[in-house]
Chain A
Amino acid sequence: MSNPDWLEHAVRRGQLEPWTLAHTFERYRQLEGLSEDALARELNCTRETLHWMSLCRKPEGEDFRAQVTAVAQRHDVSPLALAKVIRHVEIMNGFAESESARAANGDTAPLRLAARENVEDDEKNS
């Protein structure tokens, strides 16, 4: 895989598009306080591969697993590791949205967080 000079710029620009993996990876890095290199290590790939993968559409919906597999196979990364990153971001985004909605409704009761189970389910099913 070549590493053209425009690749990193395309990734940065892609972070503004919620449908991209660039957006998801950036959100994950913010949540976990990771550098790009650290995320690449977590996905067991090079930074360059991470950039190419960032230009893909974020897997979602009913055929989530097939989409993750397609992206993972193309970039030679573990589907499980990739799914974990995507699911983690989805869960935290969902949590943030529900918290905003609760705050808007003036609800201050503590929220029970059970979302982690989704990731564990994915792990068992993979």
Chain B
Amino acid sequence: MSFPTQAEEQALHERVLARRLDPVATRDVFEAFTEPIIGILCKQRGQTREDARDATIDVIYSYLNHPERFDPQRARLSTYLTQSAKKRVLDFFRSSEARQRREQEFGGVFELRAMTPKESMEITVEARLAVERLERALTQEKDRTFLKLVLEGERSTHILAEAMGLPASTEAENRREVKRNRDRLMKLLGRLRKEDHDV
């Protein structure tokens, strides 16, 4: 599937700028650009279709939210969207690479020395008790899922908001709600840790 002609792209951009005068323009942008951009991204080495798809969709929504940021004097709309999607995919990749590194470092700390069976048993029991205490404190499944994601290093507002089951809302509102929830859970963890030390 190929991109529209330059004239068609320019006409589509003008329809998007008209916003309320043409409510169908946004749909036409998806129809014209999504598949070709995903196709280009998928040709990059090691690229999964899922990442290519998510990056393309994200970039198109960013453009539709702020179409005035695109300057038709500098490039074609298809070039602008494709380049933005390539950068977005790179961000995804870096973020997942950073997460893998954090997990490896975390794993490395545990592998530093071999434990005696007695130590291992004590740690297992303590860990089980800690998990039980945490499960008692976190009665909501959503809280557990959210905490798991946070501890895994997830930072995407979109993913955390989804885990919280937030209704569809603005990015700013979601960010505020996610931060509030993260602060609440971190405070709870701090309290549990303090109780643990006091026991």
Contact = CB atoms under 8 A, between A and B. Distances in A.
Are A and B co-members of a single complex? yes
Contacts of B26: 20, 55-57
A56 B61 CA distance: 12
A59 B26 CA distance: 12
A55 B20 contact: no
Given A6-B35, A56-B26, A17 B19 contact: no
B34 interface: yes
A44 interface: no
Contact of B174 (A9, A16, A61, A70): A16
Interface stretch (B52-60, B75-83, B146-154): B52-60
Interface string A56-77: 1111110100010011001000
Contacts of A80: none
Contacts of A15: 168
Interface string A13-43: 1111110111100110010000000000000
Interface residues of B, number: 31
Given A6-B38, A10-B57, A16-B174, A71 B23 contact: yes
B53 A9 contact: yes
B70 interface: no
A55 B31 CA distance: 10
B171 interface: yes
A119 to B, nearest CB: 20
Given A6-B56, A9-B53, A16 B168 contact: yes
Contacts of B171: 16
17 contacts: A6-B34, A6-B57, A9-B53, A10-B30, A10-B57, A13-B58, A14-B61, A17-B61, A18-B169, A18-B170, A30-B167, A56-B24, A59-B20, A63-B20, A70-B22, A70-B24, A71-B24
Interface of B: 19-27, 30-31, 34-35, 38, 53-54, 56-58, 60-61, 64-65, 158, 161, 167-171, 174
